[in-house]
Amino acid sequence: MKKIGFIGLGIMGKPMCRNLLKAGYTVTVFSRTEANVAAATAHGATAAPSPAAVAAASECVITMVPDSPEVREVVLGPNGVLQGAHPGLYVVDMSSIAPLASREIGTALAAAGVHFLDAPVSGGEPKAIDGTLSVMVGGALADFEAVSPILASMAASVTRVGEIGAGNVAKLANQIVVALNIAAMSEAFVLATKAGVEPELVYQAIRGGLAGSTVLDAKAPLVMDRKFDPGFRIKLHVKDLANVLRTANELHVPLPLTASVMEVMQAMLADGCGEDDHASIIRYFEKLAHVTVTR
């Protein structure tokens, strides 16, 4: 497959589309934001007037939009992918949405002879830019093998974790771990600062041991430099944790730590910080302790 459609050109979608173009794919794009379309076409993409037109021009359509309602709209809604689809088309949703929504969308597409996979990503904007995302895929094995080369042009890791919906289950698990890591890092650095110990030295001391993590290495320097421009916005992590807790409630799985961090992020939303990077939740803990974590 060489003809790819890409719907959704936000913080993540724009660099992902660019990496597809760099890999030699022919890419047809759609976005409601004209500036993002212009940026994609400047790098060689072709603009389409609707998701249906994207589907008609493509062998595989990738969607990268905020949440379940938006995926349903661009895939199943008026002038959506389904209306322009042809039998044998592949649709890969790389958004982070509820697993049940993925299964419902997959069922609707299957009735039209369209293959569907849910393939959410982890890594944020930096890894989207350099093409080293981690992709968690749900779908039939044959479909996964067909689209793997496409996904590999945007990622360092592409893993099939089960049938349709499993990709988003894995992403929900990922978002739990990331959220709790950021919260734990925040509490640790606030404690160190309050105790008069430099957080930079604490970071260097612990990063090579059991407390070390990709999250710590990615977020600790940003926190200490007070750089809270979004790599991943708080409001999007709230959306993901809402899907986590909704799914957990459906399965009767108690997640007390996740629920606690969700309240921290909700407090940040109430303070007008929803557009900031999720590492900025450290300011919630700093406010409680009356300190600021810096180098």
Catalytic residues: 171
Whose tokens are 């002038």? That residue is 79
Give bridge partners of residue 157 from the DSSP assignment: 134
Cβ neighbour number for residue 247 with a 10 Å cutoff: 18
In angstroms, the Cα distances linking 9 to 45, 48, 135 are: 12, 13, 18
> Residue 167 in contact with residue 189, Cβ under 8 Å?
no
Nearest-angstrom CA–CA distance, 118 and 283: 34
What token pair was written down for 96? 């982070």
Burial classification of residue 34, based on how many CB atoms lie within 10 Å of its CB (0-12 exposed, 13-18 middle, 19 or more buried): exposed
